[in-house]
Structure 1
Amino acid sequence: MAIVTVAPQSPKGDDTADFGDFVSNEDEELDLEEVVEPWVKYDAKETSHVFYPIRVGEVLNERYLIEHKVGSGGFSTVWMAHDLQEKRDVALKVMSSGDYGEHEVRMQDEIIQTVQDTSHLVTYLATFFLPGNGSRHRVLVFPLMGPCLCSATLRKVTMATRMSAAQQLLRALENLHNAGIVHRDLNERNCMWGMVPTHKLSRSAKYKTLGRPLKQTIPFVDLWKVGELVRPIEVPESLRTEEFYLGDFGIAMKLGDSTVQRGYPPMEFCSPDRLHRKYPSFACDMWSYMVIFSRLYLGFPPFPTYLKGGIISGIVRSLGPLPEDWKGLYTHPGGLDSWYDQNEGPDPNNDLTSTIAYFRPDADPVEREHVHSIMSRVFTYCPEKRLTATQLLQDSSFRAIMERYGC
């Protein structure tokens, strides 16, 4: 695939040449710093996977007008752009330098070719390269999606919407697993609602709806082209749809692959077996899914992270000791011998039953028992004993909860 050139410009033809506001004081700089990627990501002297500098108002690949920022991750920035050819708004995932994006493209192609139903999987529309300063950057073009799963969004949606999202996500995962693909990175940032199209709005109307870009020229780095740190969009409830999606296949793998891309989901979503050197499997995805289900149902994570030892201590407090033969296999520093003490049991004041009752006092005993059954059959240490996506969809307690909330 040929490398394409970039044509930075601010095309005319909109109702205004407005592309947001630069920070005007120290308070705005500090507020911006909290929600954007670290500037050091653009410094080739400090990182081997340098980010590509972008500014609002430029056009990439002679086609995609950058209008706003969607967000950023460890290896990419994501931008809201208007496709000047197709006359629609899209999201551009601009990868850091190196080959990190190549694995995701291969997995995206695998998903497109082998998964029978991709309607709730976020797959790319197009891809191209941008030339960097002695490097190149893969860009993936995606549909523009709505808000990801987060506390701010959960507070605004009904239980019916939450349980519908849980069911849609599980079906998406089932379709992925049926094609032999393990996602490996299920977490709240990779799960998102749909979004009402915005391409018919003027830019000023988009900014009124999504928030004006607050921006700052990337500081402290002698860059080869102008780039900006930009506050991400905030999708209002009025633009959120009821469709729910799973995306980001950066460390996904085909089951049985001899070469496995490095990486884990965030610790609070990672199954304890993966944190003890066990091979990735569908069961790892199911543990991560149940953490997300718990977030949707309870409104909060099922296991605390503030105890000494972090998330594993929270899991052990709720579920009891880890298998004794896992001792010495923990992949991170700070492991505790007490995790494997078979003489200990779950804390009755903080087990699954107590957690469900504490966070959902409004639910009746029958509903709580169904939810406990669902959680306990996936939150089990032995991967082989966890329900599969298909089994959970067919599980009587899961179906009872879905029916209760009209799903």
Structure 2
Amino acid sequence: MAITTAPSQDLKADKAADFGDEVKTEEEQSDVEAIAEPWEKYDLNGTPHVFYPLCLGEVLDERYLVEHKIGFGGFSTVWMAHDLKTKTDVALKIFSLGEWGEHETHMQNEILQNVQDTSNLVTCSASFLLPAGSSKSHHRVLVLPLVGPCITSLILDRMSLVTRMSAAKQLLEALERIHKAGIIHRDLNESNCMWGMVPLHNLSRTAKYKVLGRPLKEVIPYVNLWKQGELVQPIEVPQHLYTQKFYLGDFGLSMKLGDLVIQKGYPPMPFCSPDRLHRQGPSFACDMWSYMVIFARLYFGFLPFPDQGQGGEVSSMVRCLGPLPEQWKGLFTHSGALDYCLAAKISKFCPEADQTEQKHMLSIMSKVFTFCPQKRLTATQLLHDPSFKAVMEKYGC
């Protein structure tokens, strides 16, 4: 994977008013609305978890110049900004109204205080508050490092298996570090795992737009806002800007082992462990199941337990791994043979792997893809597992 250093350019070359392009046609408007957050998220009358309306070009906390959009989640929007004090680019995660921002801020502090090595974790360097119109509440903002894209099929198709296996090892090391600090992530999925990105802060804004795409934007429609805001088409990071570094982020559902009050929520269905789907509590073992789904995603290029109609992902698990535990029998039933066991899946979808590698991969996946949480390897155990080490050694990791 090529890594380039952005050439130095004259930052004065920016046009003060140049923060992207307004939509001019219905087609452009449809393009923006198809990929941006739903406008309903800004409606105070429609949701208690309303988003903060924002325009490119605003300066937040008298310091952060908002230059582009990165993306959004269920309870936040994420923006690319230039720190006018340090002259570096950062990501601003702006939370909706509600408890989500305060909880993630708390977990960020737990990580910073208790995790010795945070080099592969997306941790905040600062936080501040934004007003919420007429409401007495506020929006929490986390200042995060600017990193690259998350795992997608398009990205995996362009990456070598060497790069993907390096990411798998780095992710496991990051997970081991938070587990050793007594922290359960609880939302390990492909959207929260990201590659690094070459810094662009020595480029002018005009040059950044040439690399990442000019923002296409429209004023938030249909909603009577207390301040102006925009829907913005997000950045597209070209592959030559990816780095080999791999990160774990988004600690909005994370918890300390033993916490009595637990934030509501689950990972997306394809990444959720079967025990969580059957009303068992969060655990390190749940994280390990989610990790192994990502590991398989990186290795195969697709999810190991796809939704195949009736029964969804759980049905796919049963077809691959066998019957569910006896105590779960009333919650899910499935008849039929193991028509797609792990060994057959590895052999079919990785025919280029020799028999030794296939045996190692079967061993790795079988030790985590087990319905009994107590039998799953921990992150530390998997890092020291002979088969895992053999596969990583083969790919130079």
> 2 CA distance for matches of 1:72 and 1:225?
19
- How does 1:1-400 map onto structure 2 within 5 Å? 13-16=12-15, 17-133=17-133, 134=135, 135-329=137-331, 336-338=332-334, 344-347=336-339, 350-400=340-390
Contact 1:218 1:228 in 2 (8 A): yes
Q: Which position in structure 2 is the counterpart of 1:406?
A: 396
CA positional deviation for 1:123:
0.5
Cα deviations by residue, 1:241-286 (Å, 9 ceiling, x for unpaired):
0000100100101111111111100000000000111111000000
Cα deviations by residue, 1:126-145 (Å, 9 ceiling, x for unpaired):
00000011131000000000
> 2 CA distance for matches of 1:360 and 1:300?
12
Cα deviations by residue, 1:327-353 (Å, 9 ceiling, x for unpaired):
345xxxxxx432xx6xx5422xx2111
Q: Which position in structure 1 is the counterpart of 2:8?
A: none
Partner letter of residue 381 of structure 1? F
CA positional deviation for 1:205:
0.7
2:218 match: secondary structure: strand
> 2 CA distance for matches of 1:136 and 1:279?
31
2:93 match: secondary structure: strand
Cα deviations by residue, 1:184-211 (Å, 9 ceiling, x for unpaired):
0000010001111110001111001001
CA positional deviation for 1:356:
1.2
Contact 2:131 2:138 in 1 (8 A): yes
CA positional deviation for 1:360:
1.2
CA positional deviation for 1:97:
0.8
1:155 match: secondary structure: helix
Partner letter of residue 15 of structure 1? D
Provide the TM-score with structure 1 as the length reference. Answer: 0.92
Cα deviations by residue, 1:10-33 (Å, 9 ceiling, x for unpaired):
xx9552131111111111122222
Partner letter of residue 372 of structure 2? C
> 2 CA distance for matches of 1:250 and 1:379?
25
Q: Any stretches of 5+ residues in structure 1 without a counterpart?
A: 1-11, 330-335
> 2 CA distance for matches of 1:72 and 1:351?
36
> 2 CA distance for matches of 1:232 and 1:299?
24
Cα deviations by residue, 1:343-390 (Å, 9 ceiling, x for unpaired):
x5422xx21112112221111111111101101110000000000000
Contact 1:299 1:359 in 2 (8 A): no
Contact 2:12 2:204 in 1 (8 A): no
Partner letter of residue 14 of structure 2? D
Partner letter of residue 39 of structure 1? W
Cα deviations by residue, 1:90-133 (Å, 9 ceiling, x for unpaired):
00000001221111111110110011111111110100000011
CA positional deviation for 1:153:
1.2
> 1 CA distance for matches of 2:42 and 2:306?
34
1:337 match: secondary structure: coil
Partner letter of residue 396 of structure 1? P
- Assess, with a 3 A threshold, how the Cα gap between structure 1 residues 61 and 14 changes in structure 2: closer, same or farther: farther
Partner letter of residue 20 of structure 1? G
> 1 CA distance for matches of 2:93 and 2:305?
32
2:296 match: secondary structure: helix
> 1 CA distance for matches of 2:13 and 2:55?
18
Partner letter of residue 391 of structure 2? I
Higher relative contact order structure (alpha carbons within 8 Å, sequence separation ≥ 6): 2
> 2 CA distance for matches of 1:274 and 1:377?
18
> 2 CA distance for matches of 1:345 and 1:391?
31
Provide the TM-score with structure 2 as the length reference. Answer: 0.95
Contact 2:305 2:317 in 1 (8 A): yes
**Root-mean-square deviation (CA), in Å?**
1.2
Partner letter of residue 371 of structure 1? M
Contact 1:307 1:314 in 2 (8 A): no
Q: Which position in structure 2 is the counterpart of 1:3?
A: none
Partner letter of residue 198 of structure 1? L
Partner letter of residue 43 of structure 1? D
Q: Which position in structure 2 is the counterpart of 1:6?
A: none
Partner letter of residue 82 of structure 1? H
Partner letter of residue 217 of structure 1? V
Partner letter of residue 355 of structure 2? P
> 2 CA distance for matches of 1:254 and 1:312?
28
> 1 CA distance for matches of 2:196 and 2:91?
13
> 1 CA distance for matches of 2:147 and 2:255?
24
| Range moving further from structure 2, 185-194 or 353-362 | 353-362
Partner letter of residue 360 of structure 1? C
> 2 CA distance for matches of 1:234 and 1:356?
32
| Range moving further from structure 2, 82-91 or 27-36 | 27-36
CA positional deviation for 1:306:
2.6
1:149 match: secondary structure: coil
